[in-house]
A and B are shown apart, each in its own frame.
Chain A
Amino acid sequence: MIERCKNGDRKAFEGLLLQYEKPVFNAAFRMLNNRDDARDVTQTVFLKVFENFESFDPSRRFFSWVYRIALNESINWLGKTNRLEPLQHEAVDEGMSPEQAVDSENLSAGVQQALMSIKTEYRTVVVLKHFLGCSYGEMSDILEIPEKTVKSRLYSARQQLKDALTGTGIR
């Protein structure tokens, strides 16, 4: 399919889009916590993918390449909108009473807010692991860091998330 895409086969492009649109959009959404931003980033990701097919190394896994572009674009977007710094933990509490916090919808929003409160390098590994279902090896490939670093970063991310959620009363 990749070869067909390289040759400008529109149907093949559409097939790739069908396969990767949702995970890319979800990765961007979890990184940015904004549907409009995630939509724009998803568009940019596919534009870059389609424009740079020639530079794709076929010895690598295609999804690794696409996810790497998606995460980089999300981080760039955060930089452009000056939201690279984590939100203050207090923001997690905003408008949420302890009763509301146990409500499932708010629980999900609370988890997402907690995710936004940790640094992007930690959020990235959480997104790869929990929303894109990547293994340690795949994460290492995508982020181009040793597997050992992936593990320690994931552990730190989880500790920070745990603390952020505890701060909101969500356990």
Chain B
Amino acid sequence: MAIDQKYTDLINADIDGEIGSSEKAELEAYLAESAEGRALHQELSSLCSRLDALEAVEPPPHLRHVIMNTFTPAPVAAKRPGFLQTLFATPALGYAATFAAGVLLTLSLVNSGQISIRAFDDVTGLVGSVANPVGADTVGAISVDETAIAGTVSLRSVGSILILDFDLVALEPVEIEADYTDKTIWFNGFAQLESSGTTISAESGRVRLRMEGKRRYAVYLQNEGGRATTVKLRFTTDGKVVHEASLDYASAR
């Protein structure tokens, strides 16, 4: 015999904790007399317990970073784009232009005794590599999944050049140190997809970067002779190390 809808409603309300005291008393009286009602109550309770027992799924760690960087929440007054913005907004010119911007930025920010005019000549010749990184072999990659910063850093190799490819999202300013053990390897250039947002300084055996937001950029290291080396990466925010990792390059010889 089918159970009266009034009682199926009461059974569901009881399981869902949405039953009043008088309704509860009415349901209990019904259940005391109806084996069918008790069976339904038991089955639905068991089903609901099973559903409630399913654990919540954790969102991907970097999702929040990506969402925060997908939009610009602050209302921005409309203004005419400048020449550089127009240039960077043109897809075909984007890489080349940002590379040029990167070189200019590097020229203005890098304080390295190692860098020679020849080094920048070499970097200029690498525009094709920036625009088409597929040509470089990926030697290794690391993932970063921290609250402050998330994304990947990969190490690529093409000829005598090592390329550190950063694809990161940072919720706050993050400083990244890339230490390379072989001091004969020298900083050769920098390119980024965005026109601003990352600063870089280089010294013997080390490159320091500072970034915030969603950024994609590459650091070029000259490795004459393709010697083996290890690049140690340290991510710091507010003076506190939040992540450390290393990337190894085995000798090409």
Q: Which residues of chain B from 56 to 77 have any CB-CB distance to chain A below 8 Å in the complex?
A: 56-60, 63-64, 66-68, 70-71, 73-75
Q: Is the CB of B12 within 8 A of A155?
A: yes
Q: Which residues of chain A from 121 to 171 have any CB-CB distance to chain B below 8 Å in the complex?
A: 126, 129-131, 135-136, 151, 154-155, 158, 161-162, 165, 171
Contacts of A108 in B (CB 8 A): 53-55
Residue of B nearest to A51 (CB): B71
Contacts of B47 in A (CB 8 A): 158, 161-162, 165
Q: Is the CB of B64 within 8 A of A18?
A: yes
Number of interface residues of A (CB under 8 A): 41
With an 8 A cutoff between CB atoms, is B44 at the interface? Answer: yes
Q: Which residues of chain B from 143 to 169 have any CB-CB distance to chain A below 8 Å in the complex?
A: none
Q: Is the CB of B12 within 8 A of A158?
A: yes
Complex: A162 Cα to B50 Cα, angstroms: 11
Residue of A nearest to B63 (CB): A39
Q: Is the CB of A158 within 8 A of B57?
A: no
Determine the interface band of chain B, counting residues with CB < 8 A from chain A. Answer: 20 to 34
With an 8 A cutoff between CB atoms, is A67 at the interface? Answer: no
Residue of B nearest to A13 (CB): B73
Question: Within the complex, what minimum Cβ distance (angstroms) separates B3 from chain A?
Answer: 11
With an 8 A cutoff between CB atoms, is B43 at the interface? Answer: yes
A-B pairs under 8 A by CB, number: 94
Q: Is the CB of B54 within 8 A of A111?
A: yes
Q: Is the CB of B59 within 8 A of A162?
A: no
Question: Within the complex, what minimum Cβ distance (angstroms) separates B38 from chain A?
Answer: 15
Q: Which residues of chain B from 35 to 58 have any CB-CB distance to chain A below 8 Å in the complex?
A: 43-44, 46-48, 50-58
Contacts of B46 in A (CB 8 A): 171
Q: Is the CB of B51 within 8 A of A9?
A: no
With an 8 A cutoff between CB atoms, is A77 at the interface? Answer: no
Q: Is the CB of B50 within 8 A of A25?
A: no
Contacts of A162 in B (CB 8 A): 43-44, 47
Q: Is the CB of A111 within 8 A of B51?
A: yes
Question: Within the complex, what minimum Cβ distance (angstroms) separates B222 from chain A?
Answer: 39
Contacts of A7 in B (CB 8 A): 75
Contacts of B56 in A (CB 8 A): 22, 26, 131
Q: Is the CB of B70 within 8 A of A17?
A: no
Known: A8-B74, A18-B64, A35-B60. 13 other contacts (CB 8 A): A14-B68, A21-B63, A21-B67, A26-B57, A46-B67, A47-B67, A111-B51, A111-B54, A130-B48, A130-B52, A135-B16, A151-B12, A154-B12
